[in-house]
Amino acid sequence: MTLHRRRFLCLTAAALSGAVRTASAQAYPARPVRLVVGFAPGGSTDISARLIGQWLSERLGQPFVVENRPGAGGNVATETIARAAPDGYMLLQVVPANTINPALYEKLNFDFVRDIAPVASISREPNVMEVHPSLPVKSIPEFIAYAKSHPGKINIASAGAGSSGHLAGELFKLMTGIDMVHVPYRGGAPALTDLLGGRVQAMITAMASSIEHIRAGRLRALGVTTAERSEALPDVPAVGEFVQGYEASAWTGIGAPRDTPAEIVNTLNATVNAVLAEPKVRARISQLGGSVFASSPAGFRKFIIDETEKWANVIRAANIKAG
């Protein structure tokens, strides 16, 4: 009798626990949610987070508050979420750095693929490969030919060693067999300043930061790094039109601590995808130079795993170390 009673009590406790979790998930969100960004306020990642936070607040009836925790290329923010309670009230703005850092840093206190549950992808933004007008090239094929005939003579700037722009340049070098000199800066702004001044000849960077310089003729765009052309610069070809398989876009998404209930993940994913389907939201993302990038949690996970593998291969081949 005692054994039967004990088994009954265990089953009852398990059932009640499951019911509490289900009720909690159904009531989500019942209080403000923090969306943690691994970079300083004002950048493109921060702007994207504030927009999606606003849209989720309007849809779900609770504030989604952006919290900036910069440091170590986004690792500080990622570790914060990896250690957070898996209840859906602390989320991470996921960006390319999250798929670059596992191979870039020798020791991390978390495993991104294991510890962060992909929730929803949001947008993709092309980087743009651009040169100073003094460089005598007007297309990707001309750039490759010039670089091959002048090995080591082109200086390509980036926002720093291991940055997405740096990795995009290294991927281009590996796929074309050219030799360029990488010049790392402490941020994208000083790198762009030196490109505009002709002190370096090339750069791959976010379109939003340089599109006005391109339109004004101060810089020459050779190609965008997404698989397809961008509506913002429709006359600029994709790099992949000349270098088959090349793709190195910026993108954003949302992650949560692992073991976050599937009901909460699915609620957030469905809400994000509903928001991204709205014409005004698609138009706003387009104004910022991006395009809608919607997927399921499983689809976003596969994308993250593929990106992590791609950048690990580049980092190993180019022997890149964290700056």
What are the pLDDT digits (tens) for 138-155? 999 999 999 999 999 999
169 DSSP 8-state letter? H
Rounded CA separation 268/93 (Å): 13
Question: Residue 270 pLDDT > 60, yes or no?
Answer: yes
Question: Which residue in 223, 229, 226, 231 sits closest to 248, CA to CA?
Answer: 226
Question: Which residue in 54, 37, 52 sits closest to 97, CA to CA?
Answer: 37
Is the pLDDT higher at 189 or at 144? 144
Calculate the alpha carbon distances from 141 to 148, 192, 222 in Å. Answer: 11, 23, 9
Which three-class secondary structure state does DSSP give residue 269? helix
And the tokens for 153? 């003579």
Say if strands 90-94 and 250-257 run parallel, antiparallel, or are unpaired: antiparallel
User: Does domain 127-241 fall into CATH 1.10.486.10?
Assistant: no
Is the pLDDT higher at 263 or at 187? 263
Q: What is the mean pLDDT of the chain?
A: 91
Rounded CA separation 288/263 (Å): 32
Q: Is the dihedral of CA 250, 52, 38, 185 positive or negative?
A: positive
And the tokens for 201? 């000849």
Residue whose token pair is 């495993």: 111
The CATH H-level (homologous superfamily) assignment of domain 33-125+249-318 is Bordetella uptake gene, domain 1 (3.40.190.150)
Which helix (H) or strand (E) is 255 found in, with range? strand 250-257
Q: Which regions of the chain carry the CATH code 3.40.190.150?
A: 33-125+249-318
Q: Which regions of the chain carry the CATH code 3.40.190.10?
A: 127-241
- Is the separation of the CB atoms in 191 and 157 below 8 Å? yes
Q: Give pLDDT, residue 47.
A: 86
Give this prediction's pTM: 0.85
